[in-house]
A and B are shown apart, each in its own frame.
Chain A
Amino acid sequence: QVQLVESGGGLVKPGGSLRLSCAASGFTFSDYYMSWIRQAPGKGLEWVSYISSSSTYTNYADSVKGRFTISRDNGKKTLYLQMTGLRAEDTAVYYCARATNERVFDYWGQGALVTVSS
């Protein structure tokens, strides 16, 4: 069955960096676009970024552009999100999700909590 498992979350100071990973299994990872979506505590869902199956194409929300970088390693079946210049408003649970061709998110990981605080 499809599984997505995030790791790398934690507490970081404002201005700091963190890298999230998402290990995929149960499907042909290299066939799918992948995405990061976040949810601040008690708030709704916010799309962060996605990457095409061969890493040719990436896109970012304005709120993270220039600070976050999405990447993937198809050999390791792993998705990454490198986060730099972190701000308090980046505090959220970060989900990785598999995207269909139409950018519908059909499988989600359990989420990784990132807390930005001094």
Chain B
Amino acid sequence: DVKVTQSSRYLVKRTGEKVFLECVQDMDHENMFWYRQDPGLGLRLIYFSYDVKMKEKGDIPEGYSVSREKKERFSLILESASTNQTSMYLCASSPAGGRDYGYTFGSGTRLTVV
């Protein structure tokens, strides 16, 4: 069964901490994405990557960075966590030219910043 795996389902971090959210896919997909999901705001794209070491800003990149050192792994980094970054974070992947494919999503990480 093809998978996108997010390392944690639930995380609680303190304000000011550096936080790493990890995502691994086993489908050899070129594209990977990070979204956050908040009630009433839907899904908002933070960053995406279309190749190793390549990254593009999404709609709300402020306060976040990403790393893609290997094709299968895409990490989201909160440089200094703040309470307004409390959210559900969703990772997804798709193949190159995946316009007709859509995404495969991970199960999500619910992050609480206190």
Q: Do they bind each other?
A: no
Using CB atoms and an 8 Å cutoff, list the residues of chain A in contact with chain B: none
Using CB atoms and an 8 Å cutoff, list the residues of chain B in contact with chain A: none
